[in-house]
Amino acid sequence: MTTLVAPVADLLVRQRAYWNTGATHSLEFRLAQLKALREAILTYQADIIDAARQDLGRPEFEACFEIGTIGELDYVIKHLPRWVKHRKVSLSLSQKPGSAWVQPEPLGVVLIIGPWNYPFQLIISPLMGAIAAGNCAILKPSELAPATSKVLARLVEATFDPAHVALVEGGVDTAQALLAERFDHVLFTGGERVGKLVMQAAAQHLTPVTLELGGKSPCIVDVDVNVEVAARRIVWGKFLNAGQTCIAPDYLLVDERVKAELVTALQQRIVECYGENPAENPDLSRVLNDCQFDRLVGLLNQGNILAGGEHDRSDRYIAPTLIDSVSWDDPIMQEEIFGPILPILTYRSLDEAIATLRQRPKPLALYLFSRDRQVQTQVLDRTTAGSVCINDVILQVAVWNLPFGGVGSSGIGRYHGQHSFDTFSNLKSVLKKPFWMDVDWRYPPYEGKVKQFRKLIGLS
């Protein structure tokens, strides 16, 4: 197991010395490391799936999402030779002759802190971006998913030179010790409260951060919709991993004319997916721990339960639950739910729904179910979210050339695919001028040159 034998500062010194040798900079090295990571994921896939079962009670199908990140890895390996190239830019007439380009270069040593809800995927996905960009990396997985943390430790130790990539296990004290050091970039995935602490610590060194947080992601359901398909997709996206997904639909905002039909379809779909007694269904994940369980059960004491509501603390089980008759001021609407509970609110007009959303913090994701293109355009143009998915849920996160991230309190920065490469790179601007032409218009004395200069820069 990879553990922090030396103090954090010593590990950083070792990685920075290795990075300074230039060993991580070549395309050949980066590709070799990415391919080694791919092979390691395949080698450890059974252990990864078993760890997800231990940590979150996840069925094998959902646990496979953890190793599904190999699809992004293949995308990165395929496109990296193009990403590392200089990106030429055009010059204005006033800058000619000359040439200009953007030259990606590694940042140095980066820190990646992962969450517990997708504890393997959300360490490995940013790691591939850090490696692709030519950096060294220190990984800190969540201590709340201990089985996955141990698998990650074994995988990293078997795959990488710790001077290049190292993993540090531990709790809050370990995270604080890491954040007290100077890194060249920090990527954190987790909640808003801890995200603020990460940003505060990074600010002491002026370290740039990428914060992948959460929030209450709304799901709007218009009247012009295929109710059966919408219900199938909403139930899947909400109750996947027992609702412990940062981009899960947090609540439904439904046109009141279609609410009754949609509720019936949702109730039927829950039974079709999880049976009459979901507690006995092997396809439903469990809540992480007793603390999360108690918090979620506390949210059940409001509104009117339309389906589910049953729970068992000894098994950390909460049934897929639908609730209506809640208000925007109720506790369930004041925090991200992050569990298998779906509130249903209604609206009378789309303008009313949009106005309500604009008064609330900007979410990590927004979902809209509607066949009406005018409705789609109106929602896209008048709301803000990190990502939007129309007539489906969750799947936008697996389009590798779409940037993933939040806005406002739901996050800072973007990653996935080339966006990960760019996040972990310094996109250095370069201008190159020849000696063979040197007009004296810009040099003193300036007498008689003002009119010429104003014309050159576009002023009358």
pLDDT attached to residue 249? 98
Q: Looking at the structure, tell me whether residues 228 and 107 fall in a common domain.
A: no
**Domain for residue 249, yes or no?**
yes
Same-domain check for residues 309 and 169: no
Identified catalytic residue from 136, 246, 336, 389: 246
| pLDDT score, position 141 | 97
For residues 66 and 84, membership in a common domain is answered with yes
**Does residue 433 fall inside a structural domain?**
no
For 212, phi and psi rounded to 5 degrees? -105, 100
Evaluate whether residue 241 is within a structural domain.
Answer: yes
Q: Are residues 159 and 236 in the same domain?
A: no
Query: What is the dihedral sign for C-alpha 39, 43, 46, 47?
Result: negative
Q: Which stretches of the chain score pLDDT less than 50? A: 1-5
The total of other beta-carbon atoms located within 10 Å of residue 325's CB is 13
59 and 174 together in one domain: yes
Kindly state whether residues 266 and 340 are assigned to the same domain.
Answer: yes
Q: Where are the alpha helices (DSSP H) in 299-370?
A: 350-358
Q: Does 154 lie in the same domain as 75?
A: yes
Q: Would you call 212 a catalytic residue per the annotation? A: yes
CATH number at residue 171: 3.40.605.10
Query: 399 and 417: one domain?
Result: no
Domain at 385, CATH number: 3.40.309.10
**Co-location of 94 and 53 in the same domain:** yes
For residue 256, being part of any structural domain is answered with yes
Regarding pTM above 0.75, the answer is yes
pLDDT tens profile 147-193: 999 999 999 999 999 999 999 999 999 999 999 999 999 999 999 99
Both 382 and 243 in one domain: the answer is: yes
Count Cβ atoms below 10 Å from residue 79 Cβ, excluding itself: 16
User: What pLDDT, on the 0 to 100 scale, is given for residue 250?
Assistant: 98
Burial class (CB in 10 A: 0-12, 13-18, 19+), 44: buried
Q: Which of 62, 181, 212, 336 is catalytic?
A: 212
CA atoms within 13 A on the CB side of 425: 26
CB distance 388 to 43 below 8 Å = no
Residue 146 lies in a domain: yes
Residue 6: predicted pLDDT: 56
Clarify whether residues 306 and 194 are in a common domain. Answer: no
pLDDT of 2 reads: 41
In a domain? residue 280: yes
- What is the DSSP pairing of strand 87-89 with strand 99-106? antiparallel
Tell me what pLDDT residue 4 has.
44
Are 304 and 197 part of one and the same domain? no
DSSP assignment of 55-100, as one string? HH---HHHHHHHHTTHHHHHHHHHHHHHHTS-EEE---GGG-S-EE
Domain count, the chain: 2
- Assess if residue 453 is contained within a domain: no
Q: Which domain holds residue 79?
A: 8-213+410-427
Helix/strand/coil percent split, the chain, to 5: 45, 20, 35
In a domain, 435, yes or no: no
Buried-exposed string 336-367: b where 16+ CB fall within 10 A, e elsewhere: bbbbbbbbbbbbeebeebbeebeeebbbbbbb
